Amino acid sequence: MAGTVRGATLLITGAASGMGRDYAARAVREGAAAVVLWDRDAAALSRTADELGRTAMGRTQVRSYVVDLSELGAIAKVAHAVRREVGSPDVIINNAGIVRGNAYFWKNDSGDDIRSTMLVNALAPMHVAREFLPAMIAARRPARIVNIGSAAGTLGNPRMAVYAASKAALAGWSDSLRLELRQAGHRHIRVTTVTPSYVATGMFRGARGPLLAPVLEPDVVVDRVWRAMLAGRPLVELPGSVRLSRVLRAVLPTTVFDRVVGDGFGIYRSMERFRGRG
């Protein structure tokens, strides 16, 4: 993809608001052939689709589908509808994600908290990609899969054990998928894994940015991810301190890292005032 998604078909999950809506708006501005919006919030999804449709002025087909990604069977059903009504996407942005509470692990509800977080954050992106990968492979034209993870998936953090587990699973799958596609000779499909720190979308309302990792502005993240996606870069770490903490975690003894980086930089206290979207 030479610097634009013009003429391509994109599918974006969690597209009714926040960065998902921003990715969709950017695709419309660049002249994508079709933008497919998935979200479970029917009202917000309808508003976003209407707004983007007016912006597109007929140049881009905007289609919206209400789907709860925690229902894996619904993914297959809606994917079938997309293939029938729009066609298979050239770009998938697995943007949807949830975070539950700020409790210690043993205080999480096994159904509402643990199960739903793992389903939406870890399993749903796999099922979405699996639905469309065969057609992307067969088409032999440039394609992209973007998986929005989190810095939490690279570094443990108190009060977000389940979320961290879900994003660690996503990161492991995403990079393995990248390598599998390359090894199998499907180099026209590039996979980008994104591991940002806290982003000011409301999802992490109340969380405090640690030292050297301020809360990120959504437009900055969207721009960096978009450019990396087009270029087919494998990894986006935001801010740069995310990579630094990963390197330090690898070289420092665990007790030293906990004391100097985790506690000293404020990472391990960053979720103490978390309130979420409210």
Amino acid at position 159, single letter? R
Are the C-beta atoms of 195 and 238 separated by less than 8 Å?
Answer: yes
Q: Report how far residue 103's alpha carbon sits from residue 272's, in angstroms, rounded to the nearest whole number.
A: 9
Residues serving a catalytic function are 163
Q: Who contacts 247 (Cβ-Cβ below 8 Å, separation ≥6)?
A: none
Are the C-beta atoms of 266 and 208 separated by less than 8 Å?
Answer: yes
Q: Phi/psi at 210 (nearest 5 deg)? A: -65, 170
Q: Given CA atoms 219, 221, 224, 227 in this order, what sign does their dihedral have?
A: negative
**Which residue in this structure is represented by tokens 């995403």?**
174
Of 103, 94, 102, nearest to 121 by C-alpha is 94
